[in-house]
């Protein structure tokens, strides 16, 4: 991904040299031209076209803000209910993510959505121990995390 | 234009204040250290972020001053908030703070016990 971006910037700078004008607008035009060239040549790179990855990152951010708002509201309702109906629990969740930054990102996202908090990560980086405020069903909770965050992170890191 | 801007600003700051208030209520009402860490580390982060966003919009749309420092502040809160919550919970658990009457208390206790036995 980084290599393709670097290549795109080099193409843009070459375009600036070709048209002998060193203004930001020329750079942008050159960058768009380079983007088109890289799109045509996408089969010759070992990794996929980098806009795909950028789009996956944007989708992850949107998903995160959606989850953040929804779960904050649900915890708000939980707290101001006259009768506390919470059932805290710590459950283990196996993860398929491998790289350190992926696991850090996943646990940050889990921790920032209210109702769940990562307490510990096992030494072999394969299991997350999650404390949850209101446990209905462990499998359901694990599945919902897996379907949203883990899938989105995999989408970003897939090369 | 000013009306829309003001609605945006007032909404952001009120939502932020509500979240901070709910955090305070949660700190009083929740039963044990872990569920309090929940309230303290997240709703508060979101609340302060909403307030900062309102301040940013006020200075940008009404005073014409684009202050990027506020945006950086929001970003830094975002990055450090969950780490703080995680460290609090982990430190509390490892130093043996008891949980409230819990339903499932999966492997963490067992895993910890196994690890300590292996170390002996």
Mean pLDDT of A83-102: 80
**Both A80 and A146 in a single domain?**
yes
**Full-model pTM:** 0.79
**Both A17 and A84 in a single domain?**
no
- Whether A38 has a pLDDT exceeding 70, the answer reads yes
Cα(A96)–Cα(A112) distance, integer angstroms = 20
Count of structural domains within chain B: 1
pLDDT band at A138 (very low <50, low <70, confident <90, very high): low
Q: Taking a C-beta distance cutoff of 8 angstroms, is the pair A105, A113 a contact?
A: no
The DSSP H or E segment spanning B18 is helix B2-29
Token readout for A68 is: 């953040």
**Both A36 and A61 in a single domain?**
no
Contact A119 B90 (CB under 8 A): yes
**Both A72 and A93 in a single domain?**
yes
**Both A75 and A26 in a single domain?**
no
The number of angstroms, rounded, from the C-alpha of A88 to the middle of its chain's C-alpha atoms is 27
Q: Name the least confident of A87-96, A102-111, B13-22.
A: A87-96
- Whether B107 has a pLDDT exceeding 80, the answer reads no
Domain endpoint, select from A44, A62, A78: A44
Sheet of A127-132, strands arranged across: A89-94, A127-132, A116-121
**Both A130 and A70 in a single domain?**
yes
3-state SS record for B78-102: HHHHHHHHHHHHHHHHHCCCCCCCC
Count of structural domains within chain A: 2
Q: Taking a C-beta distance cutoff of 8 angstroms, is the pair B37, B89 a contact?
A: yes
Chain B residue with minimal CA distance to A114? B42
pLDDT band at A135 (very low <50, low <70, confident <90, very high): confident
**B100 and chain A in contact, CB less than 8 A:** yes
**B59 and chain A in contact, CB less than 8 A:** no
Range of the domain at B108: 1-118
Mean pLDDT of A37-63: 87
Q: What is the ipTM of this complex?
A: 0.76
Cα(A38)–Cα(A35) distance, integer angstroms = 5
Terminal CA-CA length for chain A: 8
Contact B42 A113 (CB under 8 A): yes
Q: Taking a C-beta distance cutoff of 8 angstroms, is the pair A133, B102 a contact?
A: no
Q: Taking a C-beta distance cutoff of 8 angstroms, is the pair A1, A38 a contact?
A: no
pLDDT band at B55 (very low <50, low <70, confident <90, very high): very high
Cα(A73)–Cα(B87) distance, integer angstroms = 24
The highest-confidence range among A91-105, A125-139, B12-26, by mean pLDDT, is: B12-26
**B114 and chain A in contact, CB less than 8 A:** no
Helix or strand or coil: residue A90? Answer: strand
CA distances from B109 to A83, A89, B1, B83, B106 (A): 29, 12, 57, 22, 7
The 10s digit of each residue's pLDDT in B23-40 is 888 888 887 888 888 877
**B106 and chain A in contact, CB less than 8 A:** yes
Q: Taking a C-beta distance cutoff of 8 angstroms, is the pair A79, B29 a contact?
A: yes
pLDDT band at B104 (very low <50, low <70, confident <90, very high): low
**Both A4 and A38 in a single domain?**
yes
**Both A80 and A133 in a single domain?**
yes
Range of the domain at A8: 1-44
- Whether A9 has a pLDDT exceeding 80, the answer reads yes
Token readout for A158 is: 């897939």
């Amino acid at each position: 991904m980084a290599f393709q971006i670097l290549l795109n910037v080099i193409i843009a700078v070459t375009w600036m040299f070709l048209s002998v004008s060193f203004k930001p607008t020329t750079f942008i035009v050159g960058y768009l031209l380079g983007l088109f060239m890289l799109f045509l040549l996408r089969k010759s790179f070992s990794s996929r076209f980098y806009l795909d990855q950028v789009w996956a990152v944007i989708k992850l951010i949107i998903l995160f803000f959606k989850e953040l708002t929804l779960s904050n509201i649900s915890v708000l309702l939980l707290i101001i209910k006259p009768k506390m109906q919470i059932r805290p629990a710590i459950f283990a969740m196996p993860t398929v993510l491998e790289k350190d930054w992926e696991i850090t990102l996943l646990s940050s996202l889990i921790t920032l959505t209210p109702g769940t908090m990562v307490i510990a990560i096992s030494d072999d980086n394969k299991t997350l121990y999650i404390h949850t405020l209101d446990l209905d069903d462990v499998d359901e909770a694990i599945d919902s995390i897996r379907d949203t965050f883990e899938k989105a992170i995999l989408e970003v890191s897939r090369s | 234009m000013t009306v829309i801007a003001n609605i945006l600003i007032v909404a952001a700051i009120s939502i932020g204040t509500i979240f901070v208030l709910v955090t305070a209520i949660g700190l009083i009402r929740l039963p044990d250290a872990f569920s309090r860490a929940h309230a303290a580390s997240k709703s508060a982060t979101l609340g302060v972020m909403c307030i900062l966003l309102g301040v940013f919009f006020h200075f940008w749309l009404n005073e014409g001053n684009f202050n990027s420092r506020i945006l950086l502040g929001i970003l830094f809160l975002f990055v450090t908030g969950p780490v703080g919550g995680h460290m609090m919970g982990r430190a509390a658990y490892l130093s043996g703070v008891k949980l409230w009457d819990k339903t499932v208390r999966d492997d963490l206790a067992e895993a910890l016990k196994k690890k300590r036995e292996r170390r002996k």
